[in-house]
Amino acid sequence: WEGNPFSLVSRFQHAAGDAEAIDRVRDQRFALDRVLAGEWGARIDRARIVAAGHSYGANTTLMSAGARVVRQGGARVVRDGKAIQLRDPRFSAAIVISAPPFYGDDDFRPILSGITIPTLHVTTADDIIRIPGFGSGVDDRLKVFDATGGTRKVLAVYRHGTHNVFTDHRYFDSREVSEDVKRATESLSLAFIDSTFEGSPTGLAQWRSGHRALLARYEMR
């Protein structure tokens, strides 16, 4: 985002485009390839690899989880007559934080219904994205949750916090809100992972009980 401020709008638009979306998924795949092939690879349980991301990173995570989203002019992008396959089968679960809608598509179900792995969706009641030429509110995060397939999914909506509350750039969030939300999201993510791989919902139930004051909505399906 650095550089000439007069080109900021075009950089935002380019970052939201199909080419960048594909490249981010390929970057993620490349990074995982290198980690698994490196010195830590032998210590990683291949059956318990989880993808996670915030905002654009949440879209990357959904595409790696199986979203059929890569489109151009309303038609799926094809190469040599075949659709580009972006799903990475090494991911067994996904954590999706503040996912924007997939641009140009009003119905998310054809895009997200093919996801079959467990997903955790995290947002806030004031999770609004404002960039030049594009705006998106918490209703879009809820639509992503509703449209996502899979046998198990969890939604947590915090009462307070903006789109950037999950990052180190608080902007409009107080330090207290930012720290509360990030600590809660960390423990929620761990409870979700334990629940996914250990098969017991106890940790998620305990997390909800301990964080009721922070929550505007919580749902398990």
The 10s digit of each residue's pLDDT in 177-195 is 999 999 999 999 999 999 9
What are the pLDDT digits (tens) for 63-122? Answer: 999 998 544 444 455 444 455 668 999 999 999 999 988 765 678 898 899 999 999 999
- Residues 177, 143: contact at Cβ < 8 Å? no
Q: What is the C-alpha to C-alpha distance for residues 101 and 69, in angstroms, rounded to an integer?
A: 10
Burial label, 112 (beta-carbon count in 10 A; 0-12, 13-18, 19+): buried
Instruction: Report which of residues 106 and 138 the model is more confident about.
Output: 138
Task: Provide the whole-model pTM.
Answer: 0.89
Residue type, 24: R
Q: Nearest Cα to 61, choosing from 35, 23, 87, 34?
A: 87
Please answer whether residues 162 and 120 qualify as being in contact, where contact means their C-beta atoms are separated by less than 8 angstroms. Answer: no
What confidence tier does 133 reach under pLDDT thresholds 50, 70, 90? low
Distance CA 56, CA 161 (A): 18
